[in-house]
Chains A and B, each alone.
Chain A
Amino acid sequence: MKEKECRPPIIAEWILKTVYSDSWRYTHLGDFFEVYLDIYSSRGRFAAWAWYWLQVLKSIPGFLSNKIYWSVAMLRNYMVISFRNIIKNKWFSLINLAGLAVGMACFVLILAYVRFEMSYDRFHEKSGRIFRIVERESFMRSEVVEYSASSPEVLAPALAADIPEIINTSRICKFFADEIVLESGENSFIESGLFADEHFLEMFSFPLLRGDQKSALAAPGSIVVIQDIARKFFGDADPLGKSVVYKNGSSAMISRSPAF
Chain B
Amino acid sequence: MRLLSRSEELVLLAVWKLKDEAYCIPIQAHLNKMTGKKWSFGSIFDPLDRLEKKRLLTSCLTEPVKARGGRSKRVYGITREGIKALAEMARIQEAMWADAPALEAELKEA
Cβ B25 vs Cβ A33 within 8 A: no
A35-B25, A37-B67, A58-B40 known; A30 vs B73 contact (CB < 8 Å): yes
Interface size of B by CB at 8 A reads 17
Question: In the bound complex, how far is the Cα of B71 from the Cα of A26, in angstroms?
Answer: 9
CA distance A35 to B28 in the complex (A): 11
**Contact yes or no, B24 A33, CB < 8 A:** no
Main secondary structure, interface of A, reads: helix
B24 and A28 contact, CB distance less than 8 A: yes
The answer to whether B71 and A27 touch across the interface, beta carbons within 8 angstroms, is yes
Determine the chain B residues whose CB is within 8 A of the CB of A26 once the complex forms.
71
Q: Which residues of A contact B69 (CB under 8 A)?
A: 7-8, 29-30, 33
Contact (Cβ within 8 A) B72 A34: no
Q: A129 at the A/B interface (Cβ < 8 Å)?
A: no
For the residues of B in contact with A, the DSSP-based class is mixed
Question: Which bucket holds chain A's interface residue count?
Answer: 10 to 19
Chain A interface (Cβ within 8 Å of chain B)? Answer: 7-8, 24-35, 37, 55, 58-59, 62
Rounded to whole angstroms, the CA-CA distance of A179 and B3 in the bound complex is 96
Provide the B54-66 mask, 1 if CB < 8 A to any CB of A, else 0: 0000000100010
Q: Are B74 and A27 in contact (CB under 8 A)?
A: yes
Across the interface, which residues of A come within 8 angstroms of B74, CB to CB?
A: 27
